[in-house]
Amino acid sequence: MQNADPAPGTTEHTEREKWTSDAARDLYELPFNDLLFRAHSVHRENFDPNLVQLSKLLNIKTGGCPEDCGYCSQSAFHNSNVKATKLMDTATVIAEAKKAKQEGATRYCMGAAWSSPKPRDEAAIVSMIEGVKALGLETCMTLGMLSDQQARTFAEAGLDYYNHNIDTSERFYPQVVTTRTFDDRLETLAHVRQAGIKVCSGGILGLGEEVGDRIDMLLTLANLPEPPESVPINMLIPMPGSKMAAAAPVDVIDFVRIIALARLMMPQSHVRLTAGRASMSDEMQALCFFAGANSIFIGDTLLTAANPGEDRDSSLLRRLRLTPATLEMRE
Ligand code: SF4
């Protein structure tokens, strides 16, 4: 090799090298065609470019959350119409997971609007993990902050993934959430990783952040001791009653650039096109798939927000000749 220090974003760059802010920014600023070409090339080297992993998300405990995430309709700080519920019973969760499997999901994600799970809820969470796992699905939970012990308990129950988004850059984080810190988030991610659970962590575009915040968010994720296996990139759905109800929409090209950058900076991670898909055109989603997104949530709702639903997704995947990944294809 002529160049002993391959440029980030080339196929020789590995995810183990630390990314610098300048290298990430240089990629982001490339002419759009060059950025997409590079991202798609790296995508092809690491994944079948025509496979999309499908997950389904169930809200197992809705609303009344003591955190003040500015984008969220489930925060008790916001005047939204979301009614707080108790934790769903395990039998209902398992029945819903069975339906999700029939619809083609390979991963079942369960989310609770908590700051962190209470000790009294842990047994129910364990039984949900065990029950969903017994169906042959991958399991994912998103329950807020986890202690080291809780992460180990859920790992022993068979939890495959834990979702805990860092949302944005460390600099912008206090504009989004004030009831916990960016470091709190990283601490939970460390507990999850140490317990041997795979990490799902990403963020949201459209909170009022600058491009530099979006790039810094990816830098934080890519420079973790191990990058997340799954990186959800959300486009804000402005929720009525939330602090960000009137946020300006994200520019589509800027959004696709961040998908491409995520692919380049975390070549072996699943980049997940998450919230906001209902308001994305099919053409925008197609560009995102080309840029390196290879995972979506299926179903009509995503927590409390709308999601495209089976008919539109089936049609989109068919038109793009994309194939849903099956359980047998899991690595
Ligand atoms: S995003 Fe999660 S932690 Fe934040 S307010 Fe909503 S439910 Fe609570």
Q: Which residue has the higher pLDDT, 64 or 198?
A: 198
Distance 77 CA to ligand 1 centre (A): 10
Check residue 74 and give its pLDDT. Answer: 84
Segment 95-111, tens digit of pLDDT: 999 998 888 888 899 99
Asked whether residue 5 is assigned to any structural domain, the reply reads no
Say if residues 129 and 117 touch (Cβ distance below 8 Å).
no
Q: Which amino acid is at 232?
A: P
Residue 38 lies in a domain: yes
In a domain, 29, yes or no: yes
Measured between alpha carbons, how far is 66 from 69 in angstroms, rounded to an integer? Answer: 9
321 Ramachandran zone, left/alpha/beta (phi>0; psi -120 to 50):
left
Distance of alpha carbon 232 from its chain centroid, rounded? 2
- For residue 280, being part of any structural domain is answered with yes
pLDDT confidence of 303, banded at 50, 70, 90? low
**Catalytic status, residue 69:** yes
- Out of 60, 67, 109, 200, mutate this one to test ligand 1's pocket (max ligand atoms within 8 Å of CB): namely 67
pLDDT of residue 229: 96
Domain span at 88: 21-325
pTM of the model: 0.89
pLDDT higher at 267 or 331: 267
In a domain, 167, yes or no: yes
Helix axes 21-28, 32-46, angle to 10 degrees: 110
Please confirm, yes or no, whether 288 is among the known catalytic residues: no
Determine the average pLDDT of the residues in 260-289: 94
d(CA 324, CA 294): 10
Residue 300: is its pLDDT beyond 70? no
- Taking residues 16-32, report their average pLDDT: 93
For position 4, what pLDDT does the model report? Answer: 35
Task: Copy the structure tokens of residue 118.
Answer: 């209470």
What is the longest distance spanned by two Cα atoms in the chain?
61
14 lies in a domain?
no
In whole numbers, what is the pLDDT of the chain averaged over residues? 89
Which one is predicted more confidently, 252 or 302? Answer: 252
Q: Are strands 107-112 and 51-61 parallel, antiparallel or unpaired?
A: parallel
Residue 39 lies in a domain: yes
Would you say residue 10 lies in a domain? no
**CB-defined site of ligand 1, < 6 Å:** 65, 67, 69, 72, 74-75, 113, 144
Q: Rounded to whole angstroms, what are the CA distances from 110 to 237, 242, 283? A: 20, 22, 29
117, 146 Cβ separation under 8 angstroms: yes
Percent of the chain scored above 90 by pLDDT?
A: 69
Determine contact, residues 110/142, Cβ cutoff 8 Å. yes
Q: What is the pLDDT of residues 123-167, one digit of tens each?
A: 999 999 999 999 999 999 999 999 999 999 999 999 999 999 999
Q: Is 288 annotated as a binding residue?
A: no
Q: Ligand 1 centroid to 88 CA: how many Å?
A: 17
What is the number of domains present in the chain? 1
Please indicate whether residue 65 is annotated as part of the active site. Answer: yes
Q: How far is the CA of 233 from the centre of ligand 1 (A)?
A: 16
Instruction: Out of 65, 180, 277, 288, pick the active-site residue.
Output: 65
Which domain CATH number covers 242? 3.20.20.70
DSSP 329: G
